[in-house]
Chain A
Amino acid sequence: MNIHKITLVGVLIAGAVVIGYLESLIPSVGIPGIKLGLANIVILITLYELGIKEAIFVNALRVILVSLITGTLLSYGFLMSLAGAILSLGVMILFHTLIKKFSIIGVSVLGALFHVIGQIIVAMVFLESVYVLYYLPFIAVTSLITGVLVGLGSQLIIKTGAIKKIKEKYNF
């Protein structure tokens, strides 16, 4: 394994965790535990610049580390985060590799949407309430906006070519 690649992945995980932790400080509106999904900016960059396996790795570690830090490991909040992360990354991988109809912004929007859908499904099961769905339209609109912003942010960072340079320099 290329030590430089490992370092880069480590830095990306750290970034995702920091964003994830800061995001956990924002109080949830409506459905307890629901999060915006801002850490997706790092996941998206990892997916586009490094690949599927790396993106999955960074995403999984982000979810686990953030829940360890916030003391919510194996709790309902953790499951919400996990479901959201799995669904959103799954969808992003789908639209990035197979259905190449959208730019990074569109992929980000879809990722953000399914991040929220995953969280809502877990919330519905745990709270044993269908009424949680009533929050979906409002929260989905918010996730659309975050999705666009995250997409634009990812695009900006990728355009700087910093990661491309690192890949070329260290051959991975």
Chain B
Amino acid sequence: MKFKPLIYLSLFPLLTSCSSGVIFEDKAFAFDTMIDMKLYEGESSSLKEIKNLANTYSKLTDNYLTSDVNNVYTINNTNEDVSVDSNLYKLLKLSYELKGKGLTYFNPLCGSLAKKWKEALDKKEVLSSGIIEEELAKINSSSLTFKDNNIVQRVGDAEIDLGAIAKGYYLDSVKEYFVSKNYTKYLINAGTSSILLGSKNTDDGLFNIGLSYVKNGYLKLKNCFVSTSSNKSQGVMIDGKIYSHIVNPINGSALNENDVAIVVSNNGAYGDAISTTLTMCNIEEVKEIESLFEVKAIIIKGSDIIYKNQELEVYYH
């Protein structure tokens, strides 16, 4: 038969072009929240890899529990040299230096202040100014020293809290992993506050990102990080004001200038740190930080968008 090779040739594309339609989904519980994962290509073992990564980073950045490896909790309970995993070392160094790079309201050493606020708010009380003063003094008299061989030394009594940047940093490593596997279609949602977007398995590849506090509002995004800081989900209302888990390291207040700050960026760690900071900034400061770090933000107060970067478009259903 003359066409034998043709038949085999025509079968080949059949075997290699099976692609779209596949979705691998999984959930990981780390960073005290749930990481919802969707991968639209590759294999499910890749998600297991991401889950392991989440557990590793979560243990390293945990400031509540001790672990079999040196983590943030370890550093917070000593002033000696602590040898840590290189990823934690890099994250600590990055977080510590962000303030100097222009993110004035970002300080990873406000862990103790944040804990005291949480304790007070759990009892529906406002933290006393006396304790706030004490904690601010602790922060201002503490520092981190970064030595060779991934050794960190904490000076002073202030505690490290990486909650405002850890998930974003984790998502950066997830992105690196996906790039190494040549994956481009995925959505990794870490507690809705840190989201890594590849593209979706549709024609335009855009994901619909719903804005909970803007009625029927949503964004259409892909290939970026979306970081959200908000006082709405964990906030406590006392005397008509919403006190959040986001504390200002300069004045010790848990009252935020803005209710929700959404940051679209191409770096998860920066996006997370910036979104936390923007809840404490006025619009002028927001614009400065946007141009300094090349990110795009949306600021919401109540249910109104009081600022939106012009490159971001809000759609309505």
Contact = CB atoms under 8 A, between A and B. Distances in A.
A77 B204 contact: no
Main secondary structure of the interface of A (DSSP, over half): loop
B13 A126 contact: no
Interface in A92-118: none
B7 interface: no
Contacts of A32: 202-203
Nearest to A32: B202
A80 B21 CA distance: 12
B14 interface: yes
9 contacts: A27-B204, A28-B203, A32-B203, A68-B13, A71-B17, A71-B19, A73-B13, A75-B18, A75-B19
B14 A74 contact: yes
A49 B89 CA distance: 75
Contact of B20 (A27, A68, A72): A72
A74 B14 CA distance: 8
A166 to B, nearest CB: 26
B17 A76 contact: no
Given A27-B204, A28-B203, A32-B203, A73 B14 contact: yes
B39 to A, nearest CB: 16
Interface in B216-249: none
A52 B14 CA distance: 27
A76 B18 CA distance: 10
Contacts of B19: 71-72, 75
B21 A126 contact: yes
A69 B215 CA distance: 41
A126 B201 CA distance: 14
Interface in B1-54: 13-14, 17-21
A77 B19 CA distance: 11
Contact of B18 (A33, A73, A77, A126): A73
A27 B21 CA distance: 18
A75 B204 CA distance: 17
Contacts of A27: 203-204
